[in-house]
Amino acid sequence: MAGIAGIAHWGSRPAPRDLVEGMLEVIRHRGPDGLFAGARKNIALGHAQFNLNERERNKTQPIWLPDGSCGLVADARLYNHEELWRALGSVTWFRDTPSDAELLLAAYQRWGEQAVLRLRGDFAFAVWDERKGRLFAARDPFGVKPFFYHTDSVGIRFGSEPKQLLRLPGVTTEPHDGVIADYLYRGIHRAFEETFFLGVNRLRAGHFLIAANDRLYQERFWPASASPEDFRGSPGECAEQFYFLFREGVRQRLDMDALAAMELSGGYDSSAVVLAAADIFKSRTPSSPRPVTISQTYPEFACDESVYSDAIAAQTGFEHLRAVAPCENFAPGLLGELQKVDAPTPEIFWQRRSEATALLRNRNCKVVLTGQGGDDLVWDPDYELDLWRSRRYLSAIRYCLYDPRVIREKATRSCLKRLVRQSIGPRLIRILQRGREKPVREIFDWINVSLLEKHQSYLDRNAFAGERPVYADLARDSISNWLTEPAFLRMIEQEECLSAYAGVELRHPFLDQNLAEFVLSVPFETRLQLAPSFKAILVAALGHRLPEKVRRRASKAAFDDYFISLLTTSRPALLNMVSDTTRLASERYVKLQCAAKQWDRPLSADSGWFAGARSVWQPVFLEIWLQNLGDATRTF
């Protein structure tokens, strides 16, 4: 949750320290332990400090090599701290146990840009290399830590949030039409380089950046183009190795002097985190404080999972906090939520987060472990395609008809359809479709179609601009796609941003590079031999630890009823916020009058929050955000 800031000029013009100090003021919420800045020649760097360990309390940033040739700022939590220190060997300028930032600078000094391949953790950092006259920056594989930048012929500026850059001379709040078009088309924001502000870019997850006077480019370092070596063990050994790596990931994320909390929804993923933590504290006495668990409850809503979270809490014995999710008008705080995330994608249940934050603050919890990434890492892909491709045709059909995973998701028909498409091949499909109109995604009549047509190339983008990773089977290809999906990575990025405003750092044990690389090494045949349950590899790994009540859950919780109830309560106040049609800011993007025709119809959870209610929330959120761009650098 710490923050960074920096300005580098390409020539000899001195970098203004006062501007960096101003950039830090914008993110003061990220630095409860102090704001620090320093300038040397044409580079100024700043850091908002958030201490979780006593050993780093007196280690401030920015830091420099003794000869001044390199300087660094970082928002980083390295989970292979000891391993990296050993690999570096003797570093003459280390005075005692190095901080994560010192390790990063020493790693860059030793291995250059290849240092990122040795890192395991959540990080966003920048190194100014005086000898090469360039800035090197890198961001962890899942984008847990944020990094944004703006560049021109004068230099480059960077920070942890776009609003830091928007306060600088020469950086405007002009919206990026391509990003808005993509958001309107899909209903979600995808985390490519571009942000909602023209000229303000993000360093993408799993990429490093090199910026100099004559060039600027990003390059992917994770996932690697070559797939991991196949795991050769049995299904049982696969489950054991998964649990070993997962438990280690939980242990590393609890290893600190500060008190941590663990989200506990009652689903498989958050339950797995809590069960692994219980294992850790049962087998030995860690030096870290014993964590607590926290659950959100939804009385009278179908999405309430209290019966499952209570079962996990009772079994593990951790102190259990409960926050009741309110269902009140969210409109009064909407503008603040829009401005926090620098995008028209607010969190409408901000009051729910506030309730949980109050409980955490009372317990002085500074870190929260989540189950985020569990769905993307351990969900079972479509094995029928790999079975068919390996000429096991009857097995593929049986899988579609009888496998409990398929039946549970009511996916038999869609599985069989995929098999038909796989069997006839893309060439024959093209022949059969010749002369027929190409199916298109449904476009709401309130979206400006000419805007979509103008930015069609942006709409067609996918996660990999260059060489894609290659896997031996389609199942692993699916998992890799899920983990690198720009919409998923944006969700992780936005969660980090909002938690920082709450004074909390998020950590995600499922988003662990070692664990992900192991899962991507497991052949589909090995996973298919595990007991056919929902999220089979995770259930097999947890074994007897998972309470029977949770194991026998019929389905995942769906929150449409809660979201629709929130929107129904807030709708009158929302519509009042855009009632003045003489000063609409979104006219070139949406036809608000067309959307308004649907604003009076009843909202139903059956039609869904995303599809059924989108005509209400999306154009309204965009209009309110555009109207208030002048306050984009507001602090909280």
Model confidence at 314, pLDDT cuts 50, 70, 90, reads: very high
Q: What's the pLDDT score for residue 422?
A: 80
The pTM of the full predicted model, rounded to 2 decimals, is: 0.95
Return the HEC string of 505-554: EEECCCCCHHHHHHHCCCCHHHHHCCCCCCCHHHHHHHHHHCCHHHHCCC
CA 547, 258, 503 angle in degrees (round to 5)? 95
Model confidence at 192, pLDDT cuts 50, 70, 90, reads: very high
Share of the chain above pLDDT 70, in %: 96
Instruction: Give the residue-averaged pLDDT of 413-440.
Output: 70
Whether residue 559 has pLDDT greater than 70 = yes
Q: What's the pLDDT score for residue 435?
A: 57
CA–CA separation, 6 and 26 (whole Å)? 13
Which of 50-59, 138-147, 293-302, 564-573 has the least mean pLDDT?
Answer: 50-59
Return the HEC string of 112-178: HHHHHHHCCEEEEEEEEECCCCEEEEEECCCCCCCCEEEECCCEEEEECCHHHHHCCCCCCCCECHH
What's the start-to-end Cα distance of the chain, in Å? 15
100 carries a ligand binding annotation = yes
Largest CA distance in the chain: 73
Whether residue 16 has pLDDT greater than 80 = yes
Instruction: Give the residue-averaged pLDDT of 304-332.
Output: 95
Contact 511, 492 (CB under 8 A): yes
Q: What's the pLDDT score for residue 145?
A: 98
CA 494, 483, 137 angle in degrees (round to 5)? 65
Whether residue 581 has pLDDT greater than 80 = no
Whether residue 458 has pLDDT greater than 50 = yes
Whether residue 250 has pLDDT greater than 80 = yes
**pLDDT tens digits, one per residue of 480-490:** 999 999 999 99
In the sheet where 121-129 sits, what is the strand order? 63-64, 70-78, 121-129, 134-139, 207-212, 215-220
CA–CA separation, 230 and 472 (whole Å)? 9
Q: What's the pLDDT score for residue 583?
A: 80
Q: What's the pLDDT score for residue 427?
A: 65
Instruction: Give the residue-averaged pLDDT of 514-542.
Output: 95
Whether residue 556 has pLDDT greater than 90 = no
Model confidence at 68, pLDDT cuts 50, 70, 90, reads: very high
Average pLDDT of every residue of the chain: 92
Whether residue 11 has pLDDT greater than 50 = yes
Whether residue 635 has pLDDT greater than 60 = no
Instruction: Take residue 216 and report the two structure tokens written for it.
Output: 């600027």
Cβ atoms within 10 A of the Cβ of 397, count? 16
- Estimate the share of the chain in helix, then strand, then coil, as percent rounded to the nearest 5: 45, 15, 40
Cβ atoms within 10 A of the Cβ of 133, count? 14
Instruction: Give the residue-averaged pLDDT of 73-98.
Output: 95
Whether residue 293 has pLDDT greater than 80 = yes
What is the C-alpha R_g of the chain? 25
Whether residue 230 has pLDDT greater than 60 = yes
Q: What's the pLDDT score for residue 249?
A: 98
Whether residue 163 has pLDDT greater than 90 = yes
Instruction: Give the residue-averaged pLDDT of 334-361.
Output: 94
Model confidence at 57, pLDDT cuts 50, 70, 90, reads: confident
* 582 vs 588: which has the higher pLDDT: 588
CA–CA separation, 22 and 159 (whole Å)? 11
CA–CA separation, 303 and 518 (whole Å)? 33
Instruction: Give the residue-averaged pLDDT of 158-179.
Output: 96
The SS3 of residue 37 is: strand
Q: What's the pLDDT score for residue 261?
A: 97
Q: Positive or negative CA dihedral for 417, 419, 424, 427?
A: positive
Q: What's the pLDDT score for residue 108?
A: 98
Whether residue 248 has pLDDT greater than 90 = yes
**pLDDT tens digits, one per residue of 86-102:** 999 999 999 999 999 99
Domains of the chain: 3-220 (3.60.20.10), 229-444+473-636 (3.40.50.620)
Instruction: Take residue 212 and report the two structure tokens written for it.
Output: 């100099």
Model confidence at 58, pLDDT cuts 50, 70, 90, reads: confident
Which of 27-31, 40-44, 179-183, 381-385 has the least mean pLDDT?
Answer: 381-385
Instruction: Take residue 153 and report the two structure tokens written for it.
Output: 């012929």
Whether residue 439 has pLDDT greater than 50 = no
Contact 68, 130 (CB under 8 A): yes
Backbone angles phi and psi of 525, in degrees to 5: -60, -40
Whether residue 228 has pLDDT greater than 90 = no
